[in-house]
Structure 1
Amino acid sequence: MSEVYLNGAFLRPEEAKVSVMDRGFLFGDGVYEVIPSYGGYFLRLEQHLNRFDASLAAIRLDNPLSREEWRTLLRRLIGTPPAADQAVYLQVTRGAPGSRDHLCPAGTQPTVFASASPIKPRRPEIAQDGVACITRPDIRWQRCEIKSISLVAAVMMRREAEEEGALETIMHRAGLVTEGAVSNVFVVKNEALMTPPNSHLLLPGITRGLALLLAEEHGIRYLEEPILLETLRGADEIWLSSSTREVLPVTRLDGRPVGDGRPGQLWQRMDRLYQAHKEQVRNGHV
């Protein structure tokens, strides 16, 4: 990470400073977005920026930059020529007024931050062995469709998963699956692919949307419908999806095997489709 963007300037990371009065620091009052880049081309850039706009609108904060300004900023952060595959992080907070108060004074300038970092390649053994997850009640607030920087619940869930030897926590509310702490969830049962419908209880994942698009284009039957916790626990396959981890197979849930304990055939097909799409992005064909 040779430089970051902060409030109109490109700086070395150690030079970038934010006021201790910033509302992102004091209240978690802001939103963020993460956009993957392959070979200098962004994966579903417009969809990511649309979701960013929606999150800003939901917290009643005007987008401080135009769409073209964001595109220019992103292109600079990934470099020319671009470095290896990268994830660009965008964050806007409500700014840094002179005092701490739940109400923010009108006219406060938002804080705009962005950076890029390498995407770690998927470990080869994941395609062979899958990953482990645990399940826990969803303790978060009721506006999970907002990509808020207030992520303490996700931090708690990820830490608990790690303590249990798992990668991720899959959450449930009132007996229904919502999502992972940092991912969306898919279930395969009787050869049908299912995922919970978008609502205020989960983030409308961009990778989730791409997986459904690939399924539709290639004749994979899928349903967007509520998933019972019991259905999750009896699934033939479980997948996780996120922008930087793509689509991962879950082979152990709460210490028990999922299906036969190996990545399933439908996941293998989806992974081939996803990797082919990613290569199209890398070559500038999407």
Structure 2
Amino acid sequence: MKTVKIIGVPEHFNLPWHLAMEEGAFEQRGIQLEWTDIPEGTGRMCQMLQDGETDLAIILTEGLVKSISQGNPSKIVQEYISSPLLWGIHVAAESPRTSINELQHVKIAISRMGSGSHLMAYIHAQNQGWNTDALQFEIINNLEGAVENLGSGSGAYFMWERFTTKPLVDKGIFKRLGDCPTPWPCFVIAATNAFLNTHTNLLNHILEVINLYTSEFKRIPSIDRTLANRYAQKLEDIREWLSKTTWGQAQLSVETLKEVQNRLQSLNLIEKIKSPGEFLF
């Protein structure tokens, strides 16, 4: 039995992995998949890939592209979620702010530099025509840190996956002022170069399993109820999320990779455009 370490966020996107593990699908291939939840998100996962603390990661596209561009010895193996991520834009429930236009000069709470919450804040600000050089950030680590930060009267705003934060909006902890979708497929499967250099066959087995599970995921009987129960979500919210979400089974396209790099470079988040071979396995 070969042990493979994999990391991802503790969110509903990753249920196919957990179902496959619970049903022994990887063990049937001689693979012991060790999953670790990373609530701090993509910035932390990039660091873990770089430090060799994991073999694989389910990670946000823009965060990984930035990290690889800056020397992270990892590659994109394939798309995982082909649809955009819908980022909710939140303030504290008691905040007097009622529109996105009021956020231009407000600090942004982010999990860490290089995270999705950090990079998407730039993309959102650029979409609004704001001066992205003037953005200011507060590091809050994870979703719990955001609840504490905004609740303490920081006045910051916070971007996080809309359906993950929906229960906090319903409870009157956050107020959502709007959404910002990613302009590209949001999650990819990443692997360290060290793993790719020595375990390509293992990777192929893992991809065969997960691609089978994701291609059939929406057809699982009562999958909406399973998701709602496991992730403490309202059934109608899960159904809306499922209607907007598509799992992918192919490599990220060269055109999409170029689009991500161009956008990051336009925001001065990466220095130069690099060849697809630097990023794609």
**TM-score under structure 2 length normalisation:** 0.31
Relative contact order, higher structure (CA 8 A, sep 6+): 2
More helix by share: 2
More strand by share: 1
Q: Over alpha carbons, which structure has the higher Rg?
A: 1
